[in-house]
């Protein structure tokens, strides 16, 4: 039997990647096509001659168009890899970034693997930090807080998808809705730290991400100050507060931690050599206790 001819308007995986992706990054295009076809990268390589259906072709071309207009790939595909998890991502949450993995690594180094610990994640968003810690420290009890009910819904879905059952979700403004007297061994936070009107907000993915997760009053310091000022009341003695912050905020973060009575204060650099995470250990004395 003669080989069946390909319809004149049909296009294969390989042809789509070759002919339609000039205006976007090729790796991003592959991610988007993987999402459209619900396959992995190996499938695209092994099945370059697989024809796209009209619906698949239309979805892929629409994704490419939206990406060329600047929309983040994570919002187009609805997912983003973080640490060793694949997380659902929507425009209601901040897109997890590689530099935030430094905050997770720092937290894990201060959470024992063989005993119960209590961990608080402030501003959990998609749940990236809380769920990664919970997955790698199964004896820990993690409380994840966010002001946005929509963000918490996404975090809930991610917890269910990864069968993480040692995380409790709380809607609230930082510490406001935590049970009275509850304290933690480690508090982690990636709070909003960009100043209102910062030109970076008009660039790249930041244009599409929620302001609630990005922007802080008082030149970007409002949330960091609140978290540091009140942390001692929610930490066990010798507990750790760990924060992600902006590229130029490490020095002031260390000063704020010192003023709040923290000890063993430090900053850590990311792969680009930028001080990205700062923290300290609650000492025997804290200014917050005297307020």
**Model confidence over 218-246: pLDDT tens digits?**
999 999 999 999 999 999 999 999 999 99
- The overall average pLDDT reported for the chain is 92
SS3 65: helix
User: Is the fold of 13-69 the same as that of 92-290?
Assistant: no
Integer Cα distance of 286 and 278 in angstroms: 18
For the residues 120-134, what does the mean pLDDT come to?
A: 98
The 8-class DSSP code of residue 52 comes to P
99, burial (CB in 10 Å: exposed 0-12, middle 13-18, buried 19+): middle
Q: Which CATH number describes the domain made up of 92-290?
A: 3.40.50.150
Pick 6 or 200 by higher pLDDT: 200
* Helices and strands, number each (H, E), in the chain: 12, 11
Integer Cα distance of 170 and 151 in angstroms: 11
Q: Where are the domains of the chain?
A: 13-69, 92-290
Q: Which CATH number describes the domain made up of 13-69?
A: 1.10.8
Integer Cα distance of 214 and 223 in angstroms: 10
Over 60: is that where the pLDDT of 250 sits?
yes
pLDDT at 9: 65
CA-nearest of 225, 287, 279 to 105 is 279
Over 50: is that where the pLDDT of 157 sits?
yes
């Amino acid at each position: 039997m003669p080989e069946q001819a390909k319809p004149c308007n049909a296009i294969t995986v390989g042809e789509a990647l070759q002919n339609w992706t000039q205006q976007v990054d090729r790796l991003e295009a592959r991610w988007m096509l993987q999402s459209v076809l619900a396959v992995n990268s190996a499938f695209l390589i092994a099945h370059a001659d697989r024809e796209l259906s009209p619906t698949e072709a239309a979805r892929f071309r629409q994704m490419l168009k939206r990406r060329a207009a600047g929309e983040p790939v994570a919002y187009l595909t609805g997912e983003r890899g973080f640490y060793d998890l694949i997380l659902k991502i929507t425009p209601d949450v901040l897109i997890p970034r590689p530099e935030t993995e430094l905050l997770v690594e720092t937290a894990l180094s201060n959470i024992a693997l063989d005993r119960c610990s209590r961990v608080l994640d402030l501003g959990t968003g998609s749940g990236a930090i809380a769920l990664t810690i919970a997955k790698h420290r199964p004896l820990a009890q993690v409380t994840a807080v966010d002001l946005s009910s929509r963000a918490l819904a996404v975090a809930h879905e991610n917890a269910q998808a990864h069968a993480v059952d040692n995380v409790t979700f709380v809607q609230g403004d930082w510490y406001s809705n935590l049970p009275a007297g509850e304290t933690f061994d480690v508090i982690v936070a990636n709070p909003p730290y960009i100043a209102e009107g910062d030109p970076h907000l008009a660039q790249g993915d930041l244009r599409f991400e929620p302001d609630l997760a990005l922007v802080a009053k008082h030149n970007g310091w409002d949330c960091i100050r609140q978290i540091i000022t009140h942390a001692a009341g929610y930490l066990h003695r010798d507990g750790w507060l760990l924060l992600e912050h902006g590229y130029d905020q490490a020095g002031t973060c260390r000063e704020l931690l010192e003023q709040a009575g923290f000890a063993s204060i430090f900053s850590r650099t990311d792969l680009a050599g930028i001080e990205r995470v700062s923290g300290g250990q609650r000492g025997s004395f804290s200014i917050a206790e005297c307020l």
